[in-house]
């Protein structure tokens, strides 16, 4: 199970944080500081995985943004790397060639998309089409008083 996901910029600014395990704010800040520092210090050609405490860190850089996930010992590193990629694809499709600014100004959307894709630290829906359909549907409900839908 994924324990948390962090998005941060090359300057170390946190852009998104998603925690799937209960931790105190203090602990979260400490972890973030430590990891941002560790990951930023790594060189481009290095491998995308590292051991950290009793977790495995999987990270990848897209343009100016680092996507960084912490998974448990028995979890699969490569598939996590592709979870990151699929999330980037989702953002890209939704915002239309996403950039860091999109995530800064529409941070709530980034969270909504993530919630449709991953829940409780596990992949909920891996189909790009289905995730985007859910978000689009929600967008269509904007400011419209929804009529109760019959399933």
Partner 1 sequence: MPAVSKGDGMRGLAVFISDIRNCKSKEAEIKRINKELANIRSKFKGDKALDGYSKKKYVCKLLFIFLLGHDIDFGHMEAVNLLSSNKYTEKQIGYLFISVLVNSNSELIRLINNAIKNDLSSRNPTFMCLALHCIANVGSREMAEAFASEIPRILVAGDTMDSVKQSAALCLLRLYKTSPDLVLMGEWTSRVVHLLNDQHMGVVTAAISLITCLSQKNPDEFKTCVSLAVSRLSRIVSSASTDLQDYTYYFVPAPWLSCKLLRLLQCYPPPEDGAVKGRLVECLETILNKAQEPPKSKKVQHSNAKNAILFEAISLIIHYDSEPNLLVRACNQLGQFLQHRETNLRYLALESMCTLASSEFSHEAVKTHIETVINALKTERDVSVRQRAADLLYAMCDRSNAKQIVAEMLSYLETADYSIREEMVLKVAILAEKYAVDYSWYVDTILNLIRIAGDYVSEEVWYRVIQIVINRDDVQGYAAKTVFEALQAPACHENMVKVGGYILGEFGNLIAGDPRSSPLVQFNLLHSKFHLCSVPTRALLLSAYIKFINLFPETKATIQEVLRCDSQIRNSDVELQQRAVEYLKLSSIASTDVLATVLEEMPPFPERESSILAKLKKKKGPGAVSVTELEDGKRESGELNGSGERGQDAAAMAASNASTPSPSADLLGIRSAAPVNAAPASAGSLLVDVFSEVGPAAPSGAVNDDGFLSSAPPSEDPAPPLSEAEELLNKFVCKNNGVLFENQLLQIGIKSEYRQNLGRMYLFYGNKTSVQFASFSTTVSCPGELQNQLNVQSKPVEPLVEGGAQIQQVLNIECLTDFSDAPLLNIKFRYGGALQNLTLKLPVTINKFFQPTEMASQDFFQRWKQLSQPQQEAQKIFKANHSMDTEVIKAKLLGLGMALLDNVDPNPENYVCAGVVQTKSQQVGCLLRLEPNAQAQVPVPAAGLPSL
- Contact call for residue 104 and partner 1 (CB under 8 A): yes
5 to 34, contacts with partner 1 by CB under 8 A? Answer: 14, 16-17, 20, 22, 25, 29
Q: Which of 9, 23, 49, 61 binds partner 1 (CB under 8 A)?
A: 49
**79-98 binders of partner 1 (CB under 8 A):** 79, 81-83, 85-86, 93-96
Residue 150 beta carbon to partner 1: minimum distance, rounded to whole angstroms? 7
Give dist(CA 81, CA 86) in Å, integer: 9
As measured in angstroms, the least distance from the Cβ of 68 to partner 1 is 14
- Applying CB under 8 A, among 30, 37, 63, 78 the residue interacting with partner 1 is 78
Does 44 bind partner 1 (CB under 8 A)? Our answer is: no
């Amino acid at each position: 199970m994924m324990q948390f996901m962090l998005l941060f910029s090359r300057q170390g600014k946190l852009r998104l944080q998603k925690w799937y395990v209960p931790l105190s704010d203090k602990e979260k800040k400490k972890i973030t500081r430590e990891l941002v520092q560790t990951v930023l210090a790594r060189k481009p050609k290095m491998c995308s995985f590292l051991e950290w405490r009793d977790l495995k860190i999987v990270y990848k850089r897209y343009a100016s943004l680092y996507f960084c996930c912490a998974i448990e010992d028995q979890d699969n590193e490569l598939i996590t790397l592709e979870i990151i990629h699929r999330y980037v694809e989702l953002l890209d499709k939704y915002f239309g060639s996403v950039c860091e600014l999109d995530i800064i100004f529409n941070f709530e959307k980034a969270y909504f998309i993530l919630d449709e894709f991953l829940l409780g630290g596990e992949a909920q829906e891996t189909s790009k089409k289905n995730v985007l359909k859910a978000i689009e549907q929600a967008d269509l409900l904007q400011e419209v008083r929804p009529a109760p839908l019959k399933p």
